[in-house]
Structure formats: C-alpha cells, structure tokens
Amino acid sequence: EDKVVQSPLSLVVHEGDTVTLNCSYEVTNFRSLLWYKQEKKAPTFLFMLTSSGIEKKSGRLSSILDKKELFSILNITATQTGDSAVYLCAVSDHDMRFGAGTRLTVKP
C-alpha cells in the first residue's frame, strides 16, 4: 500500500536552533515530492523535488530528495517563532498523498 511517513510527529525547539524534518515514502509511480507549510488552514507551497541529490534552497529552508532510499529531509536553520507550523510532505504518483505532518513549535 502506498504511504508517506513523516517524523517526528512533533518537535519543540528554541529560536536559533536548526531542525531536520523527515519524510519517507512508498509509492508505485513516483513523480515528485512536495513540502508544504500549514499554519492555520491553507497549506502553502515550499518545495517540489523530482531529482535525487539536488538541494532546493529558499532562505533558511532547504530540502533534498533521495530516490534510492525513498526519503526527503527539510532543514530549517536559525529557526524563528514564525516557523511554528505543521510541515506536510506529499508525494505525487497518480494522485497526491500526504503524510500526517510534523508539528514544529519554536519557542522564544
């Protein structure tokens, strides 16, 4: 059965810390892996990854995909309280399958 597993489920850190969020997947026809940030309602797009080993970077956030080991990581450096959110990983094959998310809380 296709599945997307994120870890940890929740994480509490202090401002300035660096965090690594994990996403492993098993899907039949992998097309892409996407990361989203969900603060209240609408998830907002962070990254789309299709190729192994190529890091995508946006400010303090970066992500990389390993298609051989079937996982991706999302790194956030120098965390800020505004980074507090649920981070969702989604894998696209015939449809878009989401993991349960990682709830990140950044304390001042």
Which residue blocks in the chain are alpha helix, DSSP H? none
User: Toward other proteins, which CB reaches closer, 59 or 108?
Assistant: 59
CB atoms < 10 A from the CB of 7, how many? 13
Distance CA 3, CA 14 (A): 31
Residue 85 engages other proteins in binding (rule: CB under 8 A): no
Asked if residue 3 lies in contact with residue 98, where contact means CB atoms within 8 angstroms, the answer is no
User: Toward other proteins, which CB reaches closer, 17 or 103?
Assistant: 103
Stretch that binds other proteins, among 14-22, 56-64, 72-80, 98-106 (CB under 8 A): 98-106
Distance CA 74, CA 28 (A): 23
Residue 41 engages other proteins in binding (rule: CB under 8 A): yes
User: Which residues are near other proteins by CB under 8 A?
Assistant: 4, 6, 31-32, 34, 36, 41-45, 48, 88, 90, 92, 94-101
